Amino acid sequence: MPYVSQIIKDLNAVLLYAKHRFQNEFKQQEFELNDVFKNSYSNYLKEKNCEIEFFRHTSVITTKANQKIFIANQWFVIASYMVDFCTELLTYKELYLKICTRICQNPEHLAKNLKVSNDFATKRLFIQSAKEMFNEIYGDDAGSTEAAGYLWNFVSNYSWWAGSKTVDRNDFYISPILNSLNVVNVSHGYVADIVFAYSTNFPLRKIVENVGSFTIGAKLNTYTPDAEESASYQKAEKITSSLNLNDVSIEYLVQPTSAPKISISAASLARFKRNG
């Protein structure tokens, strides 16, 4: 997993790239998970007082309330396509909460107000506080102005990241993930929980970097990335020169490896380190 000096990523670019990869690369099939993944996910659930029993193509989770969740192993694979987006999304929220503390604002009230309207004074205060915070952490020349602008978009322009619920809510990340994967919440809601697990547990995130690293005998569609997918990747990675995604890795069209991954931002990496 590569790391770059970007403080935070362009959420819109990361989202578009994730959607394109999923739509073009994912191939419907029965998935068998390898032991490395099974052990890691089991350990993750144990920390939450839950258990999981893996079968060849399905799994059964027992919650701490002794309720059963029956899921197809496809869900673990589908969820991996949204890990880059959700990783960044959760980091954005953490940064938003820090800004609220700095400017003495209630996160819930501010989020609701900024979603429907915002004035110049609030925008100026928010962006200036964000720039100061980023400068303190990363230095004056680390892209603080750009990062502050991204953070402002996050709280004031929900269409930028396909958001619906306000960013102060614990479930704010669910709808953009499920909508991007084109799955129904009532039957596939746990997919978002899996994405959350990948995006908050660094060992799990590393394991699911590509489909071939945690499945057995999986097949992916081979395809030529279109201009929009290539543009999204370049924007997310801040690549200014012309780039053909097929030139990024010689393994790109070799099943079951996947397309190039979005590198993790400095702020997201710091979040993982703080949370163990």
**How confident is the model over 140-171, as pLDDT tens digits?**
767 999 999 999 999 999 999 999 999 999 99
Name the nearest CA neighbour of 198 among 80, 95, 58. 80
Residue 258: the pLDDT is 53
Is the whole-model pTM more than 0.85?
A: yes
Q: Is 157 exposed, middle or buried (0-12, 13-18, 19+ CB in 10 A)?
A: middle
Residue 274: the pLDDT is 87
CB atoms within 10 A of CB 44: 18
Name the nearest CA neighbour of 80 among 22, 38, 40. 22
From CA 115, how far away is CA 214, in angstroms rounded?
A: 39
Name the nearest CA neighbour of 81 among 187, 197, 249, 208. 208
Residue 5: the pLDDT is 67
From CA 91, how far away is CA 167, in angstroms rounded?
A: 11
From CA 262, how far away is CA 97, in angstroms rounded?
A: 25
Strands 58-62 and 51-54, sheet pairing: antiparallel
Rounded mean pLDDT for each run of 10 residues along the chain, 276 residues in total: 72 96 95 98 98 98 96 97 97 98 97 92 96 91 90 98 97 96 83 97 95 96 88 87 46 46 91 85
Name the nearest CA neighbour of 219 among 85, 16, 32, 39. 32
